[in-house]
Structure 1
């Protein structure tokens, strides 16, 4: 639908006109509206997605103004909205020959072809529409970009957005969509650039500060991200998502005390949100305030008895309190509720291992690797068990199968080196340790915490020279 129509009526006047029209229809009275008035009425219905009313008002309008190309154009727009693309194109092909505003006709043709997945013809008609446009060209280009943007054809959307930006460098929606689109295609630096450009022009726009916070988090600039969320909250103290993101960012960088304060603020805004209580419980858990953590996890469950993470959190605390059997019950409950959570299976494996139930621990860790093959922790846990079982070849085979996936993980190199050394393959072990030390200089110490090297001073000296 056209975003910037040339009304002669403001919003209130249009609403009053529609009410007058509907009252005359209800009373079945004779009346007359000119083309401009019908355009306002029909556009009102189209913009509010009242398609039956739009269709009826078009029928009435054509009865009064059978030769109006403006009403026919709106009929074509209705057909596009109703997915009657062939019917729309019949009208638009005719209007292309006679209508004064060819640009709008060609735009609608492009939209129809786009919705029919005929992207070549869509692009052709959009290009002709831009060429034919004599005024407000930047707005037209932005409208075209929006068609691609809504359907997440972001690379094409960006092409049109950049042109719209060239024509009107200060247009808010163009800059916002550019920043958002670049973020979505993971061109984070460009996204950062356009959000900052927006803030130079519109510094008190809370959702821009919020989105900038997300981009800064992706860049690893956590302090700046938190500052961006603070600006968002300062502009709009009830922008709940900013509190969520700020708290989660603080928790992710282990600033649990500050995260706790933000989650407590959030409780005032969303007192029945179980997610907040659970996250607050996790902050207390991480700072070993177990009683408060349990209180928050139980509060979570009282609001939502099926909130799996709360049961898991209780299980972790029970395990920390050396009550592994209780821990097992709670973690199993969490898995019964959400069976595809990687962390739950990882935690289950740890508890089984501490209960010396090695086979069940192995099963849990293997399930975790299936659920998330790109996370290293479950593989590391498996390798440690294989070492404990003296299955050194299994360690080597597992790491060989993983190939270069975790090439930059020093812990995996250390465990592989341990298996190689214990298999009496000292040179290969040293090669692995050399790579591990390059990744993390403390990894040699990790090796000696795993392997007791007795009466092998030569090997110890060689590790010192790595």
Structure 2
């Protein structure tokens, strides 16, 4: 039991605090020690809780409830063997105490024996139905630990039927629905739940997210409105509502919601970034630029902020400034693949091909294997006249995109340029099989190859044969 503001409940706690300060020893009822210990545990003050347990057991050495609280602390401290020995002692005194099975379940859970923990919790459930809500929630957590989301979902639903104000179970339940991609089922449950608890801002917020997942943006907007009605200081609801308004192209309203979050609490880089994006959509380019700068000032490590500034200048064809800011971003985080990809694109626009080559190489090293990356990198190497390196790059790209005609047409052309007509024909045949119309790649990128009679005849004969 928590201590309330009521003086009668606070008296034992105040008396205990006074005893700690003066070293005087006062007598307390065992129930008082239980309440004092639970209070300290809820506050995260484990040292004081242990002191209360120690003094409590000195005055009430046979109290099973105090011993169980001692066991709870021992489990928290991973002193599992000692906790188990004490549990055996308590079980001899009170074999029908459901808390014994709950604490045994906690020990088993710590030992990664989750199915055995579930069995123990079900024993506790059979003894005492009054704690069924808490026990259902604990069982749900055990199923989560073993990635059994369907069973976890079922027990969190049971928990909420017993105690619909258990928001931890509500969050966990929504997580299960989302993991199972059962968005419609989650919407159905949340609407039923809101019949019981119509002013639950958490449920309205989660309902909005499910509608967002199903691209039901107007319904999501209504849900976030109800979340705000339930709690007009709910920052998360304003942020999510802003995202929906952006999707509906209602940018001025989105800005209002994002700005409201800045009034409610400390500013966030996310809000600044979204406000900047909205202003850019509205054509308020100077305001957009200012908010992008605020974004990176608030969180210098936020990659989306630096990318936003870089892209802002890139879209305005100010490639020198775009290069300046992407280099600044790279100096902060050299392992960010997005930064290197943007760097490659910008250097390409500035005809800094060697720098673009280095950037593409780094992009691939960091794990970006998109088709566009391989194609662009190979084109840069081709422009530099490094045909062999371009061929190696394209062959690497084919390992990730084996049916890409873009890669095959380029490979064919490069082999022809390197006077290896056999490999050229091999890759040209592959390319034509994947995408016949794609031979225009050759006519645009390698006109000298396309104009060769042997190549034209090969393409024509393939068409006739097919």
Q: CA deviation at 1:400?
A: 1.7
CA 1:229/1:57 → structure 2, altered by over 3 Å: closer, same or farther? same
**How many angstroms apart in 2 are the aligned matches of 1:101 and 1:427?**
78
SS for the counterpart of 1:114 is helix
Q: Does 1:116 align with 2:111?
A: yes
CA 1:202/1:388 → structure 2, altered by over 3 Å: closer, same or farther? farther
Q: Does 1:141 align with 2:135?
A: yes
SS for the counterpart of 2:123 is helix
Deviations along 1:368-397, one digit per CA (max 9) or x if unpaired, are 233343645433433554676795855752
Contact 2:102–2:120 (8 Å) recurs in 1: yes
SS for the counterpart of 2:240 is helix
Contact 1:301–1:307 (8 Å) recurs in 2: yes
State the match for 1:360 in structure 2.
Answer: 355
Deviations along 1:444-465, one digit per CA (max 9) or x if unpaired, are 99999878788979979x99xx
CA RMSD for the aligned pairs? 4.3
Find 2:232's aligned residue among 237, 241, 254.
237
State the match for 2:337 in structure 1.
Answer: 342
CA 1:140/1:202 → structure 2, altered by over 3 Å: closer, same or farther? closer
State the match for 2:28 in structure 1.
Answer: 33
CA 1:163/1:263 → structure 2, altered by over 3 Å: closer, same or farther? closer
SS for the counterpart of 1:340 is coil
State the match for 1:71 in structure 2.
Answer: 66
State the match for 2:421 in structure 1.
Answer: none
Contact 1:308–1:337 (8 Å) recurs in 2: no
* Length, aligned pairs only: 444
CA 1:41/1:386 → structure 2, altered by over 3 Å: closer, same or farther? same
Contact 1:138–1:165 (8 Å) recurs in 2: no
Deviates more, 1:180-189 or 1:72-81: 180-189
Q: Does 1:432 align with 2:434?
A: yes
Q: CA deviation at 1:348?
A: 1.3
So what's the TM-score if we normalise by structure 2? 0.76
Contact 1:35–1:71 (8 Å) recurs in 2: yes
CA 1:232/1:86 → structure 2, altered by over 3 Å: closer, same or farther? same
1:185-334 pair list within 5 angstroms: 188=183, 190-248=185-243, 259-270=254-265, 272-285=267-280, 289-300=284-295, 310-334=305-329
CA 1:317/1:403 → structure 2, altered by over 3 Å: closer, same or farther? closer
Deviations along 1:410-433, one digit per CA (max 9) or x if unpaired, are xx5456457658956665444322
Q: CA deviation at 1:50?
A: 2.6
Contact 1:89–1:109 (8 Å) recurs in 2: yes
**How many angstroms apart in 2 are the aligned matches of 1:283 and 1:76?**
55
Deviations along 1:214-265, one digit per CA (max 9) or x if unpaired, are 3444444455444433332333232222333343455578775654454344
1:30-69 pair list within 5 angstroms: 31-69=26-64
So what's the TM-score if we normalise by structure 1? 0.76
State the match for 1:169 in structure 2.
Answer: 161
State the match for 2:419 in structure 1.
Answer: none
State the match for 2:374 in structure 1.
Answer: 379
Q: CA deviation at 1:99?
A: 0.6
Q: CA deviation at 1:167?
A: 7.5
**How many angstroms apart in 2 are the aligned matches of 1:136 and 1:211?**
28
Unaligned runs of 5+ in 2: 415-423
Contact 1:233–1:239 (8 Å) recurs in 2: yes
SS for the counterpart of 1:46 is helix
Deviations along 1:14-41, one digit per CA (max 9) or x if unpaired, are 3332113433565666654333333222
SS for the counterpart of 1:237 is coil
State the match for 1:159 in structure 2.
Answer: 151
CA 1:75/1:427 → structure 2, altered by over 3 Å: closer, same or farther? closer
CA 1:385/1:246 → structure 2, altered by over 3 Å: closer, same or farther? farther
Contact 1:266–1:276 (8 Å) recurs in 2: yes
